[in-house]
Amino acid sequence: MIDRYIHPDMAGLFTDANRFARYLEIELLVVAAWEELGVAPVGSTAICRSRSPKIDTAFVEAVSERELITNHDVAAFVDVVQAAIGGPEASWIHYGMTSSDVVDTSWCSLLTEAADLLISAADELIDVLVSLARRHRNTVTIGRTHGMHAEPTTFGAKCALWALQVDRDRHRLRSARSAIAVGKLSGAVGTYSNVDPRVEEIVCRALRLRPVPATQVVSRDRHAQYLYACAAVGSTLEMIAVELRHLQRTEVSEVQEGFRPGQKGSSAMPHKRNPISSETLTGLSRLLRGNLVAGFENVALWHERDISHSSAERVVLPDSSQLAHYGLKRAARLLAGLVVNVERMERNVSLTNGLVFSQPALLALIKSGMSRDDAYRVVQEAASNSWENGRPFRESLAQHLSDERLDQVFDLTKMVEGAHRTVDALDNAF
Protein backbone atom coordinates (compact mmCIF):
# COMPACT_ATOMS: atom_id res chain seq x y z
CA MET A 1 0.00 0.00 0.00
CA ILE A 2 1.32 3.46 -0.84
CA ASP A 3 1.80 5.80 2.12
CA ARG A 4 -0.76 8.28 0.75
CA TYR A 5 -3.68 6.13 1.91
CA ILE A 6 -2.36 4.90 5.26
CA HIS A 7 -3.50 6.71 8.38
CA PRO A 8 -0.74 7.18 11.01
CA ASP A 9 -2.67 5.06 13.54
CA MET A 10 -2.19 1.99 11.34
CA ALA A 11 1.08 2.90 9.66
CA GLY A 12 3.31 0.57 11.68
CA LEU A 13 1.03 -2.44 11.93
CA PHE A 14 1.88 -4.33 8.74
CA THR A 15 5.57 -3.49 8.37
CA ASP A 16 8.11 -6.28 7.96
CA ALA A 17 9.64 -5.35 11.30
CA ASN A 18 6.34 -5.60 13.16
CA ARG A 19 5.50 -8.88 11.42
CA PHE A 20 8.84 -10.39 12.44
CA ALA A 21 8.43 -9.03 15.96
CA ARG A 22 5.10 -10.87 16.14
CA TYR A 23 6.77 -14.05 14.81
CA LEU A 24 9.49 -13.77 17.46
CA GLU A 25 7.00 -13.27 20.28
CA ILE A 26 5.09 -16.38 19.18
CA GLU A 27 8.31 -18.41 19.04
CA LEU A 28 9.34 -17.24 22.53
CA LEU A 29 5.89 -17.99 23.93
CA VAL A 30 6.18 -21.51 22.51
CA VAL A 31 9.52 -21.97 24.27
CA ALA A 32 7.89 -20.77 27.48
CA ALA A 33 5.05 -23.25 27.00
CA TRP A 34 7.46 -26.14 26.47
CA GLU A 35 9.32 -25.08 29.60
CA GLU A 36 6.08 -24.86 31.59
CA LEU A 37 5.20 -28.37 30.46
CA GLY A 38 8.59 -29.66 31.58
CA VAL A 39 9.86 -30.43 28.08
CA ALA A 40 12.36 -27.59 27.64
CA PRO A 41 14.98 -27.16 30.41
CA VAL A 42 14.25 -24.63 33.13
CA GLY A 43 15.64 -21.24 32.18
CA SER A 44 15.39 -21.80 28.43
CA THR A 45 12.82 -19.03 28.00
CA ALA A 46 14.84 -16.45 29.94
CA ILE A 47 17.98 -17.21 27.94
CA CYS A 48 16.14 -17.11 24.61
CA ARG A 49 14.54 -13.79 25.49
CA SER A 50 17.76 -12.23 26.72
CA ARG A 51 19.64 -13.25 23.57
CA SER A 52 16.84 -12.72 21.07
CA PRO A 53 17.73 -10.27 18.30
CA LYS A 54 16.46 -6.71 18.07
CA ILE A 55 13.88 -6.55 15.28
CA ASP A 56 15.05 -3.60 13.23
CA THR A 57 16.06 -2.78 9.67
CA ALA A 58 19.26 -4.78 10.02
CA PHE A 59 17.33 -7.85 11.14
CA VAL A 60 14.86 -7.57 8.26
CA GLU A 61 17.77 -7.30 5.83
CA ALA A 62 19.47 -10.33 7.43
CA VAL A 63 16.32 -12.42 6.94
CA SER A 64 16.06 -11.27 3.33
CA GLU A 65 19.67 -12.28 2.68
CA ARG A 66 19.15 -15.66 4.32
CA GLU A 67 15.99 -16.21 2.27
CA LEU A 68 18.10 -15.99 -0.89
CA ILE A 69 19.57 -19.31 0.27
CA THR A 70 16.61 -21.01 1.94
CA ASN A 71 14.00 -19.79 -0.55
CA HIS A 72 11.62 -19.93 2.43
CA ASP A 73 10.90 -16.80 4.44
CA VAL A 74 9.94 -18.44 7.75
CA ALA A 75 12.88 -20.85 7.61
CA ALA A 76 15.14 -17.85 6.98
CA PHE A 77 13.61 -16.05 9.95
CA VAL A 78 14.14 -19.07 12.21
CA ASP A 79 17.76 -19.43 11.06
CA VAL A 80 18.57 -15.79 11.84
CA VAL A 81 16.87 -15.94 15.25
CA GLN A 82 18.58 -19.20 16.21
CA ALA A 83 21.95 -17.82 15.14
CA ALA A 84 21.45 -14.78 17.37
CA ILE A 85 20.39 -16.83 20.41
CA GLY A 86 23.00 -19.55 19.97
CA GLY A 87 23.82 -22.41 22.29
CA PRO A 88 21.56 -25.37 23.01
CA GLU A 89 18.69 -23.03 23.92
CA ALA A 90 18.35 -21.95 20.27
CA SER A 91 17.14 -25.46 19.41
CA TRP A 92 13.87 -24.78 21.25
CA ILE A 93 12.97 -22.06 18.78
CA HIS A 94 10.35 -23.48 16.39
CA TYR A 95 10.36 -26.80 18.25
CA GLY A 96 7.56 -29.08 16.97
CA MET A 97 6.06 -26.33 14.86
CA THR A 98 5.38 -25.76 11.18
CA SER A 99 5.69 -22.39 9.49
CA SER A 100 1.91 -21.91 9.27
CA ASP A 101 1.68 -22.11 13.06
CA VAL A 102 3.73 -18.92 13.25
CA VAL A 103 2.42 -17.20 10.13
CA ASP A 104 -1.30 -17.85 10.62
CA THR A 105 -1.28 -17.05 14.33
CA SER A 106 0.65 -13.88 13.57
CA TRP A 107 -1.79 -12.89 10.81
CA CYS A 108 -4.73 -13.40 13.14
CA SER A 109 -3.07 -11.37 15.88
CA LEU A 110 -2.31 -8.51 13.48
CA LEU A 111 -5.78 -8.54 11.95
CA THR A 112 -7.41 -8.53 15.38
CA GLU A 113 -5.45 -5.41 16.19
CA ALA A 114 -6.40 -3.90 12.83
CA ALA A 115 -10.06 -4.70 13.50
CA ASP A 116 -9.85 -2.79 16.77
CA LEU A 117 -8.57 0.26 14.89
CA LEU A 118 -11.32 -0.11 12.29
CA ILE A 119 -14.02 -0.33 14.96
CA SER A 120 -12.63 2.75 16.69
CA ALA A 121 -12.64 4.66 13.38
CA ALA A 122 -16.24 3.56 12.77
CA ASP A 123 -17.12 4.89 16.24
CA GLU A 124 -15.67 8.25 15.28
CA LEU A 125 -17.57 8.42 11.98
CA ILE A 126 -20.85 7.46 13.67
CA ASP A 127 -20.39 10.25 16.24
CA VAL A 128 -19.91 12.79 13.43
CA LEU A 129 -22.95 11.54 11.52
CA VAL A 130 -25.22 11.44 14.57
CA SER A 131 -24.24 15.01 15.42
CA LEU A 132 -24.89 16.12 11.84
CA ALA A 133 -28.26 14.34 11.76
CA ARG A 134 -29.47 15.94 14.98
CA ARG A 135 -28.23 19.38 13.95
CA HIS A 136 -30.16 19.17 10.68
CA ARG A 137 -33.24 17.41 12.00
CA ASN A 138 -35.44 20.21 10.64
CA THR A 139 -33.38 21.15 7.59
CA VAL A 140 -35.74 20.49 4.68
CA THR A 141 -34.19 19.27 1.45
CA ILE A 142 -35.53 17.70 -1.69
CA GLY A 143 -35.59 13.93 -1.94
CA ARG A 144 -34.67 12.54 -5.33
CA THR A 145 -35.48 9.29 -7.09
CA HIS A 146 -33.87 8.44 -10.43
CA GLY A 147 -31.97 11.72 -9.94
CA MET A 148 -35.23 13.67 -10.25
CA HIS A 149 -37.08 15.72 -7.64
CA ALA A 150 -39.49 13.45 -5.76
CA GLU A 151 -40.76 14.69 -2.38
CA PRO A 152 -39.20 16.76 0.42
CA THR A 153 -37.27 15.09 3.22
CA THR A 154 -34.72 16.41 5.71
CA PHE A 155 -30.96 16.46 5.54
CA GLY A 156 -31.01 15.12 9.09
CA ALA A 157 -32.83 12.01 7.89
CA LYS A 158 -30.17 11.45 5.21
CA CYS A 159 -27.38 11.67 7.78
CA ALA A 160 -29.26 9.46 10.25
CA LEU A 161 -29.61 6.72 7.65
CA TRP A 162 -25.88 6.96 6.95
CA ALA A 163 -25.15 6.66 10.68
CA LEU A 164 -27.35 3.58 10.99
CA GLN A 165 -25.59 1.93 8.04
CA VAL A 166 -22.14 2.63 9.44
CA ASP A 167 -23.38 1.10 12.68
CA ARG A 168 -24.28 -2.07 10.76
CA ASP A 169 -20.76 -2.01 9.32
CA ARG A 170 -19.46 -1.73 12.87
CA HIS A 171 -21.41 -4.85 13.81
CA ARG A 172 -19.88 -6.62 10.81
CA LEU A 173 -16.40 -5.52 11.89
CA ARG A 174 -17.00 -6.83 15.40
CA SER A 175 -18.19 -10.15 14.02
CA ALA A 176 -15.17 -10.33 11.72
CA ARG A 177 -12.89 -9.55 14.64
CA SER A 178 -14.37 -12.44 16.58
CA ALA A 179 -13.92 -14.76 13.60
CA ILE A 180 -10.28 -13.77 13.06
CA ALA A 181 -9.17 -13.57 16.71
CA VAL A 182 -8.02 -17.18 16.65
CA GLY A 183 -4.78 -19.10 16.58
CA LYS A 184 -3.40 -22.55 15.78
CA LEU A 185 -0.21 -24.27 16.82
CA SER A 186 -1.14 -27.83 15.90
CA GLY A 187 1.81 -28.59 13.63
CA ALA A 188 1.88 -30.17 10.20
CA VAL A 189 -1.64 -30.92 8.86
CA GLY A 190 -3.08 -29.84 12.22
CA THR A 191 -2.90 -33.18 14.05
CA TYR A 192 -0.66 -32.14 17.00
CA SER A 193 1.65 -35.02 16.06
CA ASN A 194 4.75 -33.16 17.26
CA VAL A 195 3.31 -30.45 19.47
CA ASP A 196 1.31 -30.76 22.67
CA PRO A 197 -2.18 -29.19 22.38
CA ARG A 198 -1.44 -27.47 25.67
CA VAL A 199 1.25 -25.43 23.91
CA GLU A 200 -1.43 -24.03 21.63
CA GLU A 201 -3.66 -23.20 24.59
CA ILE A 202 -0.88 -21.46 26.52
CA VAL A 203 0.33 -19.39 23.56
CA CYS A 204 -3.12 -18.38 22.36
CA ARG A 205 -4.11 -17.35 25.86
CA ALA A 206 -1.05 -15.09 26.07
CA LEU A 207 -1.94 -13.55 22.70
CA ARG A 208 -5.63 -13.21 23.63
CA LEU A 209 -6.60 -15.46 20.75
CA ARG A 210 -8.93 -18.46 20.72
CA PRO A 211 -7.40 -21.82 19.71
CA VAL A 212 -9.40 -23.44 16.93
CA PRO A 213 -9.31 -26.74 15.02
CA ALA A 214 -7.41 -26.36 11.77
CA THR A 215 -5.61 -28.20 9.02
CA GLN A 216 -2.06 -26.98 8.58
CA VAL A 217 -3.63 -23.53 8.16
CA VAL A 218 -6.47 -21.59 9.74
CA SER A 219 -9.56 -21.87 7.54
CA ARG A 220 -9.64 -18.99 5.10
CA ASP A 221 -13.37 -18.30 5.37
CA ARG A 222 -12.36 -16.32 8.45
CA HIS A 223 -10.09 -14.07 6.41
CA ALA A 224 -12.77 -13.76 3.73
CA GLN A 225 -15.24 -12.62 6.38
CA TYR A 226 -12.76 -9.98 7.52
CA LEU A 227 -12.24 -8.77 3.95
CA TYR A 228 -16.01 -8.67 3.45
CA ALA A 229 -16.37 -6.42 6.50
CA CYS A 230 -13.73 -4.10 5.02
CA ALA A 231 -15.44 -4.13 1.62
CA ALA A 232 -18.81 -3.41 3.25
CA VAL A 233 -17.27 -0.37 4.91
CA GLY A 234 -16.02 0.75 1.50
CA SER A 235 -19.44 0.35 -0.07
CA THR A 236 -21.04 2.44 2.67
CA LEU A 237 -18.40 5.13 2.28
CA GLU A 238 -19.00 5.14 -1.47
CA MET A 239 -22.75 5.46 -0.94
CA ILE A 240 -22.20 8.56 1.21
CA ALA A 241 -19.53 9.92 -1.12
CA VAL A 242 -21.62 9.57 -4.28
CA GLU A 243 -24.51 11.41 -2.63
CA LEU A 244 -22.19 14.20 -1.52
CA ARG A 245 -20.69 14.43 -5.00
CA HIS A 246 -24.14 14.92 -6.50
CA LEU A 247 -25.13 17.49 -3.89
CA GLN A 248 -21.93 19.47 -4.56
CA ARG A 249 -22.58 19.88 -8.28
CA THR A 250 -22.76 23.54 -9.30
CA GLU A 251 -26.39 23.23 -10.35
CA VAL A 252 -27.31 21.74 -6.96
CA SER A 253 -24.86 23.38 -4.50
CA GLU A 254 -26.54 22.02 -1.38
CA VAL A 255 -23.30 21.01 0.36
CA GLN A 256 -19.63 21.73 -0.04
CA GLU A 257 -16.50 20.01 1.22
CA GLY A 258 -14.40 22.09 3.57
CA PHE A 259 -11.72 24.17 1.85
CA ARG A 260 -8.55 24.97 3.79
CA PRO A 261 -6.65 28.27 3.47
CA GLY A 262 -4.10 27.89 0.71
CA GLN A 263 -5.86 24.91 -0.86
CA LYS A 264 -6.18 24.84 -4.64
CA GLY A 265 -9.06 23.13 -6.40
CA SER A 266 -7.54 23.16 -9.87
CA SER A 267 -4.08 23.88 -11.23
CA ALA A 268 -5.68 25.70 -14.18
CA MET A 269 -8.98 27.19 -12.92
CA PRO A 270 -8.66 29.18 -9.69
CA HIS A 271 -12.43 29.22 -9.05
CA LYS A 272 -12.72 25.43 -8.66
CA ARG A 273 -13.61 23.74 -5.36
CA ASN A 274 -13.81 20.09 -6.30
CA PRO A 275 -15.28 17.19 -4.22
CA ILE A 276 -11.89 15.53 -3.94
CA SER A 277 -12.47 13.65 -0.66
CA SER A 278 -15.75 12.19 -1.91
CA GLU A 279 -14.13 11.15 -5.18
CA THR A 280 -11.19 9.60 -3.35
CA LEU A 281 -13.54 7.52 -1.19
CA THR A 282 -15.37 6.34 -4.31
CA GLY A 283 -12.11 5.13 -5.85
CA LEU A 284 -10.81 3.40 -2.73
CA SER A 285 -14.05 1.44 -2.35
CA ARG A 286 -13.38 -0.19 -5.72
CA LEU A 287 -10.09 -1.56 -4.42
CA LEU A 288 -11.76 -2.98 -1.32
CA ARG A 289 -14.32 -4.87 -3.40
CA GLY A 290 -11.60 -6.16 -5.70
CA ASN A 291 -9.59 -7.45 -2.74
CA LEU A 292 -12.66 -9.28 -1.47
CA VAL A 293 -12.68 -11.43 -4.61
CA ALA A 294 -9.17 -12.67 -3.79
CA GLY A 295 -10.29 -13.40 -0.22
CA PHE A 296 -13.14 -15.61 -1.41
CA GLU A 297 -10.89 -17.42 -3.88
CA ASN A 298 -8.39 -18.13 -1.09
CA VAL A 299 -10.94 -20.24 0.80
CA ALA A 300 -10.49 -23.31 -1.43
CA LEU A 301 -7.01 -24.76 -0.85
CA TRP A 302 -5.64 -28.16 -1.84
CA HIS A 303 -6.05 -30.84 0.83
CA GLU A 304 -4.60 -29.76 4.20
CA ARG A 305 -2.80 -26.76 2.71
CA ASP A 306 -1.09 -25.15 -0.21
CA ILE A 307 0.28 -21.62 -0.51
CA SER A 308 -1.87 -20.25 -3.33
CA HIS A 309 -3.48 -17.97 -0.73
CA SER A 310 -0.19 -16.68 0.66
CA SER A 311 0.91 -14.32 -2.09
CA ALA A 312 -2.55 -12.77 -2.40
CA GLU A 313 -2.91 -12.31 1.36
CA ARG A 314 0.38 -10.45 1.63
CA VAL A 315 -1.30 -7.78 -0.50
CA VAL A 316 -5.02 -7.83 0.21
CA LEU A 317 -5.05 -8.23 4.00
CA PRO A 318 -2.81 -5.24 4.82
CA ASP A 319 -4.20 -3.15 1.96
CA SER A 320 -7.86 -3.70 2.83
CA SER A 321 -7.20 -3.02 6.51
CA GLN A 322 -5.39 0.20 5.72
CA LEU A 323 -7.79 1.35 3.00
CA ALA A 324 -10.92 0.77 5.08
CA HIS A 325 -9.33 2.50 8.06
CA TYR A 326 -8.12 5.45 5.99
CA GLY A 327 -11.54 5.73 4.35
CA LEU A 328 -13.34 5.86 7.70
CA LYS A 329 -10.96 8.53 8.98
CA ARG A 330 -11.17 10.54 5.75
CA ALA A 331 -14.97 10.37 5.76
CA ALA A 332 -15.16 11.53 9.38
CA ARG A 333 -12.94 14.50 8.57
CA LEU A 334 -14.95 15.30 5.44
CA LEU A 335 -18.32 15.22 7.22
CA ALA A 336 -17.09 17.09 10.29
CA GLY A 337 -16.09 19.98 8.02
CA LEU A 338 -19.03 19.73 5.60
CA VAL A 339 -20.65 23.05 4.67
CA VAL A 340 -24.44 22.63 4.46
CA ASN A 341 -26.17 25.28 2.34
CA VAL A 342 -29.59 25.40 4.01
CA GLU A 343 -30.83 28.31 1.87
CA ARG A 344 -29.96 26.48 -1.33
CA MET A 345 -31.79 23.40 -0.09
CA GLU A 346 -34.91 25.50 0.54
CA ARG A 347 -34.63 27.07 -2.90
CA ASN A 348 -34.26 23.67 -4.57
CA VAL A 349 -37.37 22.37 -2.81
CA SER A 350 -39.30 25.19 -4.53
CA LEU A 351 -37.58 24.75 -7.87
CA THR A 352 -40.53 22.95 -9.52
CA ASN A 353 -43.18 25.45 -8.36
CA GLY A 354 -44.75 22.94 -5.99
CA LEU A 355 -44.80 19.80 -8.13
CA VAL A 356 -43.24 17.85 -5.25
CA PHE A 357 -46.69 17.99 -3.58
CA SER A 358 -48.32 15.93 -6.35
CA GLN A 359 -48.96 12.89 -4.15
CA PRO A 360 -50.79 14.83 -1.41
CA ALA A 361 -52.83 16.45 -4.20
CA LEU A 362 -53.65 13.02 -5.64
CA LEU A 363 -54.78 11.72 -2.24
CA ALA A 364 -56.84 14.85 -1.56
CA LEU A 365 -58.75 14.36 -4.81
CA ILE A 366 -59.37 10.70 -3.98
CA LYS A 367 -60.70 11.74 -0.55
CA SER A 368 -63.05 14.17 -2.27
CA GLY A 369 -64.68 11.22 -4.06
CA MET A 370 -62.77 11.01 -7.33
CA SER A 371 -61.53 7.61 -8.58
CA ARG A 372 -57.79 7.06 -8.33
CA ASP A 373 -57.30 6.92 -12.10
CA ASP A 374 -59.30 10.11 -12.68
CA ALA A 375 -57.51 11.86 -9.85
CA TYR A 376 -54.14 10.75 -11.22
CA ARG A 377 -54.93 12.17 -14.65
CA VAL A 378 -56.12 15.48 -13.19
CA VAL A 379 -52.96 15.90 -11.14
CA GLN A 380 -50.73 14.78 -14.00
CA GLU A 381 -52.32 17.31 -16.36
CA ALA A 382 -52.08 20.08 -13.77
CA ALA A 383 -48.42 19.22 -13.15
CA SER A 384 -47.65 19.28 -16.89
CA ASN A 385 -49.38 22.65 -17.23
CA SER A 386 -47.46 24.04 -14.29
CA TRP A 387 -44.10 22.80 -15.58
CA GLU A 388 -44.54 23.91 -19.17
CA ASN A 389 -45.95 27.36 -18.36
CA GLY A 390 -43.99 28.16 -15.22
CA ARG A 391 -47.26 28.40 -13.32
CA PRO A 392 -47.48 27.56 -9.60
CA PHE A 393 -48.79 24.03 -9.19
CA ARG A 394 -51.27 25.21 -6.58
CA GLU A 395 -52.94 27.51 -9.11
CA SER A 396 -53.32 24.62 -11.56
CA LEU A 397 -55.24 22.69 -8.91
CA ALA A 398 -57.41 25.56 -7.70
CA GLN A 399 -60.46 24.50 -9.73
CA HIS A 400 -60.41 21.03 -8.19
CA LEU A 401 -59.72 21.68 -4.49
CA SER A 402 -60.77 24.29 -1.94
CA ASP A 403 -58.29 26.70 -0.41
CA GLU A 404 -58.52 24.81 2.87
CA ARG A 405 -57.71 21.51 1.16
CA LEU A 406 -54.90 23.16 -0.82
CA ASP A 407 -53.37 24.51 2.41
CA GLN A 408 -53.29 20.95 3.68
CA VAL A 409 -51.83 19.63 0.41
CA PHE A 410 -48.99 22.19 0.38
CA ASP A 411 -48.13 21.94 4.08
CA LEU A 412 -44.34 21.42 3.97
CA THR A 413 -44.03 20.91 7.71
CA LYS A 414 -46.52 18.05 7.65
CA MET A 415 -44.83 16.63 4.55
CA VAL A 416 -41.51 16.04 6.35
CA GLU A 417 -42.90 15.27 9.81
CA GLY A 418 -42.39 11.54 9.34
CA ALA A 419 -38.72 12.06 8.41
CA HIS A 420 -38.07 12.92 12.06
CA ARG A 421 -38.69 9.28 12.95
CA THR A 422 -35.43 8.39 11.19
CA VAL A 423 -33.49 10.86 13.32
CA ASP A 424 -35.31 9.66 16.44
CA ALA A 425 -34.20 6.11 15.64
CA LEU A 426 -30.68 7.21 16.57
CA ASP A 427 -31.77 7.51 20.21
CA ASN A 428 -32.50 3.78 20.32
CA ALA A 429 -29.46 2.77 18.26
CA PHE A 430 -26.77 4.68 20.14
* Rg (the chain; Cα; Å): 30
**Is-catalytic flag, 266?**
yes
Helix (H, G, I), strand (E, B) or coil at 286: helix
At 24, which amino acid appears? L
Cβ burial of 120 (10 Å; 0-12, 13-18, 19+) is middle
Instruction: Report the candidate in 159, 113, 138 with the shortest Cα–Cα distance to residue 332.
Output: 159
Q: Where are the beta strands (DSSP E) in 62-164?
A: 140-145, 148-154
Dihedral of alpha carbons 329, 332, 335, 337, sign: negative
Cβ(166)–Cβ(122) below 8 Å: yes
41's CB contacts (< 8 A; 6+ apart) are 35, 89
Rounded (to 5) percent helix, strand, coil in the chain: 70, 5, 25
Catalytic residue among 91, 193, 266, 384: 266
Phi, psi of 13 (to 5 degrees): -70, -40
Instruction: Report the candidate in 219, 202, 217, 275 with the shortest Cα–Cα distance to residue 37.
Output: 202
**Is-catalytic flag, 350?**
no
In angstroms, rounded to a whole number, what is the distance separating the alpha carbons of residues 340 and 335? 10
Catalytic residue among 50, 146, 267, 303: 146
Cβ(359)–Cβ(43) below 8 Å: no
The distance between the two most distant Cα atoms of the chain, rounded to a whole number of Å, is 102
Element (H or E) spanning 339, and its range? strand 339-340
Positions annotated as catalytic residues are 146, 266
